Chains A and B, each alone.
Chain A
Amino acid sequence: MLVPPPSTLLLNRYYTTEFFSMIKEHLNPGGVFMCSPGSAQTYFNEESLKLNSSVFNSLKVAFANVKPVAGNKLYFIASDKVLSASFCRLTEQQNIKNHYVSSDYLADDLTERKSDEIESLLDPEMRQNSSSFPIAYNYFQLYNLSKDLNEKVPAIVLLILLFATPLFAIKRKNLIMYFSASALAAFEIIVLLTLQLTVGNMYQLTGLIIAGLMAGLAIGAGSDFSRVTPISIPVKSIILILFYVLAASVYGSIIKTDSRFPAICMIMLLSFIPAFITGNIFRELTCESRTGNHIASVYSADLSGSAMGFIAVSGFAVPAFGTAATIYFLALLVFSGFLFGTIMNKH
């Protein structure tokens, strides 16, 4: 299977333990699978070793034997039967007539030697790449980052400053808005990722999920529900925290489900609820003042929180800590808003 390396979360799916197990189910007994997570280098730096180790270990979950083979790219061949990188001998054994695979071009002893050398460099303890913990994607990003790092550092610093600057403009009483919006944006990314994992083709469903989320925000912010409005912001924050904790605990079952329709319904519901509560927090914060200035500052906190949530989760948290841990982290984010924006904000 020749697909590009796990440079995106979408491509990372083709290098997960789940995907390899699925492949094995479809292979004939003793069938051979091959994939290539990156290039074959004369020297593997630490980042590329981590990337290759995580994919190698993921293949080991599904297949009894895995062998790295250095060619134009680094190939991993995997099977339940014994594998060999002696391609010349194998082609002769099978009476395959060809001009290319001969000892003039590929020497068996050199291929085997290189194979063993690469395998000895791979770390058997490295975490396996999975749908809920896309660590290979993370290592691929680090590998890319390690190239011309000095040139990239100014851009990274500039980006951090750009996203950190709004923090200085946020008023303390709007911190709950900042953190809940941040958590919601992050959760939206996770929902989209989950949709990709459970449904696969997500072109139209992406629109549906975003529409569900926006509807939640709109209803929460625009409607005056007699049962919801009297609930104070700290209590709403606690409900939001509990929601994220619950979502984190059921996340594993959602991505493992085989029935797509209930999964989609569940995902849509999951995107609607926090959006509704966050929208309602926005309403509460903006209703207490009639000045346009105040509404603008709450809106600013909302947007800058969302920006931080989008970036931090898609670029960092999910690949580094895994999805379930990230959702727990979202609960922690809202708790920070609850702590600094509501409890300690009382005068």
Chain B
Amino acid sequence: MKNSKHNISKRDFIRKSALLSAGLICFPCHKMLSESLPDQQGIYKRVAMYQEKTADGILCRICPNECVLNESDLSRCNSRKVHNSKLYTLAYGNPCSVNIDPVEKKPLYHFYPGSRAYSIATAGCNLACRNCQNWTISQTSPDKTRNFDLPPADVVAECISNNCRSIAYTYSEPVTFYEYVYETAMIARKSGIKNIMKSNGYINPEPLKKLCTVIDAANIDLKAFTESTYLKLTGGKCSNCLKSVDGVWN
């Protein structure tokens, strides 16, 4: 006997259930997506430094990852994007973490001890360490975090008004917000404010050399001593970090 019109076949039942489940799953996803959608108008504020056009795309020469990116591609550090054939930094004037810390927390014990450091970070990192304590900002993009509107000059002004002796570029990875660090540090120097970089040292020699002209103190994390462990824990190469450790002091 044929099924009546009220009957439902197994295939129909499964299809409808799958559609309903997909709908239920997609509803919160859509909500999450719409919440995290960035203000696309304002994110391309600053053209990135150290970019080079190649046959394969735009090469970012800031760090040893040397991402080659095409239109709308996001770099491995989640902070650089190609827009209209130019590489832009998404991490400029928009720190997601702003704190006043004792300088000892950086940790620097012999650099203006007892003073305070105005500490800033934007989202993003060029490594992917397994045990990162700041993963909520290091493994995401500046367009997905709650950010402060703090251009370089304002950082310096805030630092002075809060009686801080230095500005610390810390928490996530300052190499990924290189332009912001460099320009803030330049203004800070003019005002007599010291600059501290807390970094994984995963940066190419040329940008590092330029940055060292404005940085007064640095703390470079050497996260492992062998290439295999370094790769396993961070996804990067130990030798690149060692070059930076050498480069900072020389």
User: Which residues does A use to contact B, with CB under 8 Å?
Assistant: 39, 41-46, 48, 104-105, 107, 110, 113-114, 146-148, 167-168, 170-172, 175, 340, 344-347
Contacts and interface: CB of A to CB of B under 8 A. Distances in A.
Given A43-B96, A43-B134, A107-B102, A170 B121 contact: no
B17 to A, nearest CB: 8
B10 A43 contact: no
Given A104-B114, A344-B6, A45 B13 contact: no
Contact of A43 (B8, B97, B116): B97
A41 B171 CA distance: 10
A102 B134 CA distance: 27
Interface in B109-123: 114, 116, 121, 123
B13 A172 contact: yes
Interface in B99-115: 99-102, 104, 114
Interface of B: 1, 3, 6-10, 13-14, 17, 35, 96-97, 99-102, 104, 114, 116, 121, 123, 133-137, 139-140, 145-146, 171
Given A42-B171, A43-B96, A43-B97, A172 B10 contact: yes
B134 A41 contact: yes
B181 to A, nearest CB: 17
B159 to A, nearest CB: 14
Contacts of B96: 43
Contacts of A146: 136
Nearest to A47: B136
A43 B114 contact: no
A117 B217 CA distance: 28
Contacts of A175: 13
Which 6 pairs of residues, A with B, have the shortest CB-CB distance?
A45-B136, A42-B97, A43-B137, A172-B10, A43-B97, A42-B171
A48 B136 contact: yes
13 contacts: A42-B99, A42-B171, A43-B96, A43-B134, A43-B136, A43-B145, A104-B114, A105-B104, A110-B100, A110-B102, A146-B136, A172-B9, A345-B7
A45 B96 CA distance: 10
A64 B137 CA distance: 33
Contacts of B35: 46
A51 B13 CA distance: 37
Contacts of A345: 7
Contact of A347 (B3, B104, B135): B3
A100 B176 CA distance: 36
Nearest to B171: A42
B7 A344 contact: yes
A171 to B, nearest CB: 7
Contacts of A148: 135, 139
B135 A147 contact: yes
B13 A340 contact: yes
Contacts of B135: 147-148
Nearest to B146: A43
Contacts of B137: 42-43
A166 B135 CA distance: 38
B14 A168 contact: yes
Contacts of B104: 105
B100 A147 contact: no
